[in-house]
Amino acid sequence: MSGGGSQNSLRKALGSIKDTTTVSLAKINSDYKELDIAIVKATNHVERPAKEKHIRAVFAAISATRPRADVAYCIHGLARRLSKTHNWAVALKTLVVIHRALREVDPTFHEELINYGRSRSHMLNMSHFKDDSSPNAWDYSAWLRTYALFLEERLESFRILKYDIETDRPRTKDLETAELLEQLPALQQLLFRVLNCQPQGAAVSNFIIRLALAMVASESVKIYQAITDGTANLVDKFFEMPRADAVKALEIYRKACQQAERLSEFYEICKSMDIGRGERFIKIEQPPASFLQTMEEYVRDAPREEHSPSPPPPEPVKEEKPPVVAPPDLLNLDDPATVASSELDERNSLALAIVPVGKFFDCLISHGSFSVATVIFRLSPDLLPQVGMPCINLKKQKETNMSSLSPIESLLTRLLNGRVLSKMSLD
């Protein structure tokens, strides 16, 4: 025992030295030295509750009247204190400061704490914390972890409910079904964390733990009242619910019955520890089992919601295309004579091979087709020099009837009219 006592005294001395060193560094290096000193003194290694003046100094830095930068710095200082320590007293006293701030400071602190947890790792995650310096410290560490889970769930319930369950009036009595189905499970989860805060072993007699447990037990009264009001509201709406909502409501009601029994046991433990002195705890009344059976029968017999098949997609509307109007025949291409000429073009397509105009007429003259000159002269005598033919006197041929033209002469007629000649002249 003497060896254990000397070791414990050594730990306390080392803790005191750490606190003194941290305060000295804050006085020299910190821009928020007064706040840093208050945080260290409110969460020091001394195994007894912190002095109220140091806690109040921390609260002053996180009030709504202070700049948000000061609030963020204070939260960061508390988070750093939690993450770096391996001493149960420092960690537990830091959690107590945070818990009291949630109860006593304005709701803006809740929001800042939630935002800090989103931007960084959750500062209240103490699942891996342990102080194995002594058997008692081991028991203290176990209770500290459950306490941190309660505080983390408390923040989550504030995020869902949009109000603090301890400082504000419960609102579950007037909620609609959808809101009840969302908020009641959050409240029941918070009550579950309360019920897990029963101390074990050496933690039962630890004074700091007893102070923290007193705050948890007092909040459980408000939590249970909110659950009771919400459950009564849910029961009033139960037999009008669709089956899917009725199943969720039945599960909430069944869980409320189970938690009511466990809460009665929790209050008995608190009374035995002289926490709350008995008068602050409400009497837990179990709902009748027959009503639970009626609810189960309703859910069992309620018709299941059948999902109607989705209607087939509508048929695409066929758009009627407007009738195609032929463009006006400005060149008289639809004239029967022109159509006959087109058929002649197809039959004499080889005659329109790409041949220079001059050579074309040379070929005609060499084969004795002198009537070509007659065609050209009939149309325009001035074209003869342009196609390389002499202007001979063809007056007699000019007076000849146009209908007496041969097929090759007819071809030349269209050629010189511009339908083909313009293209051949490019060659």
Number of H helices, E strands in the chain: 18, 0
pLDDT at 218: 92
Which of 2, 100, 3 shows the shortest CA–CA distance to 43?
A: 100
Distance CA 423, CA 427 (A): 7
pLDDT exceeds 80 at position 156: yes
Write the burial class of residue 151 (CB in 10 Å: 0-12 exposed, 13-18 middle, 19+ buried).
Answer: buried
Name residue 193's amino acid: R
pLDDT exceeds cutoff 60 at 138? yes
Q: What is the largest CA-CA distance in the chain?
A: 153
Tokens 């009601």 -> residue: 253
Confidence of residue 425 (pLDDT cuts 50, 70, 90): very low
pLDDT given for residue 413 in this prediction? 58
- Give the closest residue to 181 by CA, choosing from 236, 246, 226: 246
Which pLDDT score, from 0 to 100, does residue 419 have?
44
d(CA 65, CA 84): 30
Nearest of 226, 286, 282, 224 to residue 254 by alpha carbon? 286
b/e map 255-274, b = 16+ CB within 10 Å: bbeebbebbeebbeebeebe
- Helix (H/G/I), strand (E/B), else coil: 21: helix
Give the whole-angstrom CA distance, residue 149 versus residue 134.
23
Q: How confident is the model at residue 131 (pLDDT cuts 50, 70, 90)?
A: very high
Work out the burial of residue 24: count CB atoms within 10 Å of its CB; fewer than 13 is exposed, 13-18 middle, 19 or more buried.
Answer: exposed
Contact 63, 35 (CB under 8 A): no
Mean pLDDT of 333-362: 52
Which pair of structure tokens corresponds to residue 340? 């006959």
pLDDT at residue number 352: 43
Indicate the pLDDT class of residue 301, thresholds 50, 70 and 90.
Answer: confident
188-225 pLDDT, tens digit each: 999 999 999 999 999 999 999 999 999 999 999 999 99
8 Å CB contact between 159 and 114 = yes
Contact 273, 210 (CB under 8 A): yes
The average pLDDT across 309-337 equals 59
pLDDT of 229 over the 50 cut = yes
Virtual torsion, Cα 260, 264, 266, 270, nearest 10 deg: 140
Flag whether pLDDT at 184 surpasses 90: yes
pLDDT for 247: 92
Pairwise CA distance, residues 173 & 235, whole Å? 11
SS percent in the chain: helix, strand, coil, step 5:
65, 0, 35
* pLDDT classification of 427: cutoffs 50, 70, 90: very low
**Which helix H or strand E contains 150, and what residues bound it?**
helix 135-161
| Residue 242 DSSP symbol | -
Q: pLDDT exceeding 70 applies to what percent of the chain?
A: 61
Domains defined for the chain, CATH in brackets: 1-123 (1.25.40.90), 162-302 (1.20.58.150), 336-426 (no CATH)
Other Cβ atoms within 10 Å of 316 Cβ, number: 6
Average confidence (pLDDT) over 32-49? 90
Q: What is the pLDDT of residue 395?
A: 42
- Of 184, 198, 202, 172, the C-alpha closest to 263 is 198
Which runs of consecutive H residues, i.e. helices, occur in 239-288? Answer: 243-272
- Using CA atoms, how far apart are residues 143 and 85, in angstroms rounded to an integer? 16
Phi first, then psi: what are they for 49, rounded to 5°? Answer: -60, 150
Of 3-7, 30-34, 130-134, 401-405, which gets the smallest average pLDDT? 401-405
pLDDT at 55 > cutoff 90:
yes
Alpha-carbon span 245 to 178, nearest angstrom:
9
pLDDT at 286: 74
pLDDT of residue 424: 45
Higher pLDDT, 337 or 275: 275
Most confident of 160-169, 291-300, 347-356, 374-383: 160-169
- From 18-22, 167-171, 180-184, the region with the lowest mean pLDDT: 18-22
DSSP-assigned letter for residue 44: -
pLDDT top residue among 117 and 165: 165
Query: pLDDT tier at 396 (50, 70, 90 boundaries)?
Result: very low
Average of per-residue pLDDT across 120-124 = 77
Structure tokens that stand for 318 in this block: 């066929």
Average pLDDT over the chain, rounded to an integer: 77
Helices (H), 325-406: 336-347, 357-366, 371-379, 383-386, 395-398
Backbone angles phi, psi at 3, to 5 degrees: -65, -40
pLDDT at 300 over 60: yes
pLDDT above 80 for 130:
yes
